[in-house]
Amino acid sequence: MIRVVAPSRLHAGLFHVPGAGAPPAGERAFGGVGLMVDLPGVVVTARPAAGWQFEGALASRAQVFAMRFLRSVPEDRLRPQQVLIERAPAEHTGLGVGTQLGLAVAKVLAVAHGEAGLPSPDLAARVGRGERSAIGVHGFDHGGLLVDAGKLPGEPVSPLLARVDLPDEWRVVVFTPSVAGGWHGARERHAFSVAAGGAPDALRRLAHETLLPAARAGDSDAFGDALYEFNRKAGEPFAAAQGGVYASPEVEALVADLRSRGVRGVSQSSWGPTVFALAPDADTALSLVLRFRGRVPCFVARPSSGHRVERE
């Protein structure tokens, strides 16, 4: 049996939103900043079988990814597998589940078919991920804090611009408030189409001059303040669609509450409703969970160094 354990992706925002105006010739669209954590994660297993089988959470979605990947495997090399999704959180909650599931399925099949060395951008291209952000694509292999360069026209996956290992003692408290309606599909496309404004140069400076150096130095206060500021600025182009810089009033209220309690690093992840807060150590993270768990589902995650492959 082959098991792939993939991390979860938290996304603080994009540098440039094409709906807010096409970038100048030769400049990249999208890009942005995000990080990988170990929980809740995605776990996919495969074992030889008489015929193809797909079971577990999001099995039908996993089958679609598998069929895309297998198009490039010669028919005489195909080895039917029983593919089981052991763990996968709900999609469209800001955790990058679609990309991590697609890459985990592709990886488990790549290993089963003798292509274990394929890097995550190649896996992503074969299953159709990385249309906009590539944080989850590169994070699948490398983990850490990542800066996505952005895409040039015709580029299948945006290149990785920078990566930093977060300090081992840092923790991330992940909040998953119950909010009606998700920002995906037609709603997401509309939000991009009406996006306006934005400050891509300021966001890039914030990433390179503050976020990355603070992470390297282990300065959780400076990192937290920069993360919060980055996320707010990145939400400005979507204010017309969202009714503010956050995806919902509930998310905005949660962010404000956390900040009022002295938590400096607070960010909505992607379209939400997931919100994440940086804690400098495990004790601080636990105190946050104890304070909020009666109101908002939450848990403590660790920075991740990327996926792992296990064999039994």
Q: List pLDDT tens digits, range 204-224.
A: 999 999 999 999 999 999 999
Biggest alpha carbon–alpha carbon distance for the chain? 61
d(CA 261, CA 285): 13
**Which residues, in sequence order, are CB contacts of 163 under 8 Å at separation 6+?**
138, 142, 144, 145, 146, 147
d(CA 246, CA 220): 23
Neighbour tally for 262: CB within 10 Å: 7
Is the pLDDT reported for residue 102 higher than 60?
yes
Among 184, 176, 124, 128, residue whose Cα is nearest residue 10? 176
Query: Lowest mean pLDDT: which of 59-73, 97-111, 182-196, 288-302?
Result: 182-196
3-class DSSP state of 301: strand
Question: Beta-strand (E) ranges in the chain?
Answer: 2-13, 32-48, 53-56, 81-87, 145-148, 160-164, 171-175, 266-268, 275-279, 298-301, 308-311
Average pLDDT over residues 5-20: 90
- Tokens representing residue 136 in the block: 């989850």
The ranges assigned to domains in the chain are: 2-311
Side chain identity, residue 30? F
Q: How confident is the model at residue 154 (pLDDT cuts 50, 70, 90)?
A: confident
Q: What is the CA radius of gyration of the chain?
A: 19
Query: Lowest mean pLDDT: which of 42-46, 186-190, 278-282, 304-308?
Result: 186-190
Pick the CATH number of 2-311 from 3.30.750.210, 3.40.190.80, 3.40.1670.10, 3.30.230.10: 3.30.230.10
What's the whole-model pTM score? 0.94
